Amino acid sequence: MTDTREQLSAATKRYRRTEAAHEAAREAVIMAVVAALRDGLGPTDVERLSPFSGAYVRKLAREHEIPPALPGPKRAAP
């Protein structure tokens, strides 16, 4: 039983050590997503290039007051 407790304790320590780095990386990706949307990259391309779902990309766009794309056919990504 002690081995299991030690494994759990070690895993928890690793998680806590890397948690701040993970959160900082997540914030960096969010800012990159917002910048890409503001620069005119479409939500579909942003979704494909980021770790986030289309719904979350759209949510970030709304939160940062980025207007939705106009209806109709979209330009193909290069």
Query: If you write DSSP's letter for every residue of 15-71 in order, what string do you get?
Result: HHHHHHHHHHHHHHHHHHHHHHHHTT--HHHHHHHSSS-HHHHHHHHHHTTPPPPPS
Per-residue pLDDT of 4-20, as tens digits, reads 999 999 999 999 999 99
Task: Give residue 21's pLDDT band: very low, low, confident or very high (50, 70, 90).
Answer: very high
Residue 49 and residue 35: Cα distance in Å, rounded?
A: 13
Per-residue pLDDT of 44-62, as tens digits, reads 999 999 999 999 999 999 9
Residue 11 and residue 48: Cα distance in Å, rounded?
A: 31
Judge whether 57 and 50 are in contact, CB under 8 Å.
Answer: yes
